[in-house]
Amino acid sequence: MDVLNTFMHAAYMKRTDGLDLNLLKLLDVLLDEGSVTEAARRLGRTQPAVSQALGRLREAVGDPLFVRQGRRLVPTARAEQLGHAARIALRTLDQALLSAPAFDPASSRRAFRVSAPDALGPLVPSLLAALSDAPGVSLELLPRSGVAGVDEADLVLDVLPDEASGVVARRLGKLHAVVACRRGHPSLDEPWDAAAWCRWPHVLVRTDTVTRSTVELALDREGLTRTVGLAVPSLLLVPHVVAATDMLFTGQREILALLADTLGLVLRDTPLPQPVVPVAAMWHARHQHEPGHRWFRERVANVIESAFSA
């Protein structure tokens, strides 16, 4: 059974009037074979099944289509007319199925949209470098939207959800909490425990979510309180503030490590345990087999996986 017939049996595609493509394939084969028995053998079906299908086709077009002449079936004029059209349609569909759409990065002018937290900002230069062989391709960053963003963005980079219908996810790694301070910070010469951690002012990234952060939950469990010296709406300012002050910041090691050497940051273990956060690239299932999207998501995933494993 050829590729087209396999596809039609699997998909069972139908026209709006109820005539499915399997019947057109049957007509094509019967015109070639002139025999229900031989058509059944070629299609890999039983003779009764082919006879029943021919009956449905006759009823659908209102014509006997084939009349017996000796041991062969001879097509009517209507069968020959339909057979010509069916062959053209089936050949066109066959070519479309066998010819996967190509994606050429060098000539593409496609714009890819990515929804991601501000925390991934330091990775943007590496993402652009990974797309350097596609000079016409552009990248647009959208605000963090979570898994719901797959309807608008080509790719969503965020915490891996427990479950999401119609969404494909690829694990990229895990984020581990650390405390960042400037090189030469006074706390580096002191015993490092939860009390010391709380004595120094902290930078807090205040999001619009009502969910309490894992840091706040850990402090509550221990009955501790930290001093917030600065609250900001985005992570992008935080490393620079920490590098120039005595404030501390509790964030993700994999992200802060990208800036530590440049800004002179020291990363230390958190005095209170923090959960490990799984991160994933997510996209709508409709993009799963599209060549351009596959090329793009592989480039993005490689950059993030490399950064997280460093």
DSSP state of 255: H
**What is the pLDDT at residue 3?**
37
**What is the pLDDT at residue 207?**
72
d(CA 4, CA 135): 37
Chunked in runs of 10, what are the mean pLDDT values of the chain (310 residues)?
A: 39 45 84 88 88 88 87 88 84 70 89 90 91 95 88 91 83 92 95 93 80 82 91 90 96 90 95 89 92 95 87
The answer regarding whether domain 3-98 maps to CATH 1.10.10.10 reads yes
Both tokens of residue 140?
A: 């647009």
d(CA 168, CA 282): 6
**What is the pLDDT at residue 98?**
66
**What is the pLDDT at residue 6?**
37
d(CA 268, CA 86): 71
- Residue 116's nearest CA partner among 256, 242, 263, 304 is 304
Both tokens of residue 268?
A: 């230390």
**What is the pLDDT at residue 1?**
39
CATH number given to 111-174+278-309: 3.40.190.10
Strands 277-284, 167-175: parallel, antiparallel or unpaired by DSSP?
antiparallel
Cα 192 to Cα 186, 188, 199, 245, distances in angstroms: 11, 8, 11, 19
177-275 matches 111-174+278-309 in CATH topology: yes
**What is the pLDDT at residue 171?**
92
Residue with tokens 């690829």: 170
- Cα Rg of the chain (Å, integer): 31
**What is the pLDDT at residue 145?**
85
Both tokens of residue 136?
A: 């016409």
**What is the pLDDT at residue 8?**
40
Q: Domain coordinates of the chain in residue numbers?
A: 3-98, 111-174+278-309, 177-275
**What is the pLDDT at residue 99?**
65
What is the value of pTM for the model shown? 0.65
Arch. (CATH architecture) of 177-275? 3-Layer(aba) Sandwich (3.40)
H or E stretch covering 57: helix 47-61
